[in-house]
Amino acid sequence: MRYRSQRIAQIPPYMFAEFKKKKEKMQQEGVDVIDLGIGDPDLPTPRHIVEKLIDEMAYPENFKYPSFNGCSEFRQAVADFYKRQFDVDLDPDTEVLMLIGSKEGLAHLVPTVIDPGEIVLAPDPGYPPYRMAISLAGGRLYKMPLLEENNFEPQLQEIPLEIASQAKLLLLNYPGNPTSATVEKAFFDEAVSFAKQHEIVIAHDAAYNMVTFGEYKAPSILQAEGAKEAAVEFGSLSKTYSMTGWRIGYAVGNKEVIKALSIYKSNTDTGQFTPIQKAAAYALMGNQDCVQASNAVYEERMQAMVAALRSIGIKAKAARGTFFVWASVPEGYTSAAFADSVLEKTGVIVTPGTAFGESGEGYFRISLSVPTDRLKEAIHRMKKELVINKNREEKSI
Ligand SMILES: *Cc1c(COP(=O)(O)O)cnc(C)c1O
């Protein structure tokens, strides 16, 4: 008997599985392992959002099947958020769709837009579910290398014409995971004009749109001229409000794509629990001091980690958004060998850049979504055990 389709059989083992095995083994040996691998906020969901969820639990009508596209309060709250944050007008009925987290929406978007054999342009390195969704949909992945010298932006004009003219879908993600790169609106103007020229749908993953520091404000792709003709943007409550386990996000933008995705989804899932939607609406509409507060925590951790890495001779830059540090592997190591060596010497898990695609070679990712005292302990161990080359510090500053 065959238990797996070809589609499932070709999926490589979960990238964190190998580390999990090593982590468990080291823990059994008594090592206090610090996991800077997975990006999942350690900070709690702000209390007022939790209270709203509890309040909404009092109404039995909230226990029924939710509406497919999301309750009106949630869709209106997303539209209001876009107006307030980006000065973008959205029709909550046709241009906003509720998702069970943006990962769900992105994964279902791919077979919504492409047929088997069609080309999807995706960033490399990039969030692994993009590649998996393309593979599951039978699509052809065209990797756009994100290089440091280009601010980790894909060089759209360098994509061969025969690829661009056949491509159906373009995936982008800023502020980016894993690179932590941020862009200005001009980049989205260029991307939208490229997509319109070649009749490509753009999906912009904006999971970190509100996790930004200092004066920097992440733009929305929908601010670009004519964006609604070509683009949809995926947002999430997960990172902004430390709500990863709640599973709620949204897609906004092009009506045709939103409609098509809602057809796919209405035949696959039945939305999200209504009290969660209402609490999420409340999060988007309520006092945003909690966002500033969590961003201040991430920014401080970012500064501390980058300073520590530099002090031991590792090239790293503090980003304007996300809770990731994307740093260069020291000379003489591959990404995988370096991550292994860090784990062995310090008991700290970092993710090799290659877990996000071949162009991640030469880098590793540190997630700052762990309690500050654990991060300090990790820094302490790295400073003690990992002095790469003291002379390089001067050069890298
Ligand atoms: C965390 C993350 C998401 C997933 O968000 P959910 O809304 O929790 O599904 C999407 N994209 C990127 C790049 C992420 O890092």
Pocket test for ligand 1, best of 236, 269, 276 (most atoms within 8 A of CB): 236
Mean pLDDT of the region 3-27:
85
Give the closest residue (by CA) to ligand 1 atom 14.
207
Residue 127 Cα to ligand 1 middle (Å): 8
Residue 202 Cα to ligand 1 middle (Å): 17
Residue 342 Cα to ligand 1 middle (Å): 26
How do residues 346-382 score in pLDDT, each as one tens digit?
999 999 999 999 999 999 999 999 999 999 999 999 9
Pocket test for ligand 1, best of 16, 98, 102 (most atoms within 8 A of CB): 102
| Cβ(302)–Cβ(325) below 8 Å | yes
Distance in angstroms (rounded) separating the CA atoms of residues 100 and 114: 21
Give the closest residue (by CA) to ligand 1 atom 11.
207
Question: Which residues are near ligand 1 (CB < 6 Å)?
Answer: 39, 101-103, 127, 173, 177, 205, 207, 236, 238-239, 244, 249
The reported pTM is 0.95
How do residues 105-129 score in pLDDT, each as one tens digit?
999 999 999 999 999 999 999 999 9
The secondary element (H helix, E strand) that includes residue 164 is: helix 161-166
Per CATH, domain 47-285 is 3.40.50.300: no
How do residues 51-67 score in pLDDT, each as one tens digit?
999 999 999 999 999 98
Pocket test for ligand 1, best of 173, 177, 250 (most atoms within 8 A of CB): 177
Q: State the chain's maximal CA–CA distance in angstroms.
A: 66
Atom of ligand 1 nearest to the CA of 176: 13
CB atoms within 10 A of CB 213: 19
Residue 102 Cα to ligand 1 middle (Å): 6
Residue 236 Cα to ligand 1 middle (Å): 7
Amino acid at 76: Q
pLDDT value at 172 more than 50: yes
- State whether residue 205 is helix, strand or coil: strand
Q: Which residue has the higher pLDDT, 22 or 88?
A: 88
- Cβ-in-10-Å burial (0-12, 13-18, 19+) of 234 comes to buried
Question: Which pLDDT score is estimated for 389?
Answer: 56
Return phi, psi of residue 24, to 5°. -65, -40
Of 281, 251, 273, the residue nearest 263 (C-alpha): 251
Residue 379 Cα to ligand 1 middle (Å): 26
Atom of ligand 1 nearest to the CA of 104: 9
> Is the peptide bond between 330 and the residue preceding it cis, with omega within 30 degrees of 0?
no
Name the CATH superfamily, with its identifier, for domain 6-45+289-396.
Aspartate Aminotransferase, domain 1 (3.90.1150.10)
User: Residue 108: how many CA atoms within 13 Å on its side-chain side?
Assistant: 25
Q: What are the structural domain ranges in the chain?
A: 6-45+289-396, 47-285
How do residues 235-271 score in pLDDT, each as one tens digit?
999 999 999 999 999 999 999 999 999 999 999 999 9
- How many percent of the chain have pLDDT more than 70? 97
Q: Which residue has the higher pLDDT, 306 or 12?
A: 306
Q: For the chain, give the mean pLDDT.
A: 95
Atom of ligand 1 nearest to the CA of 126: 13
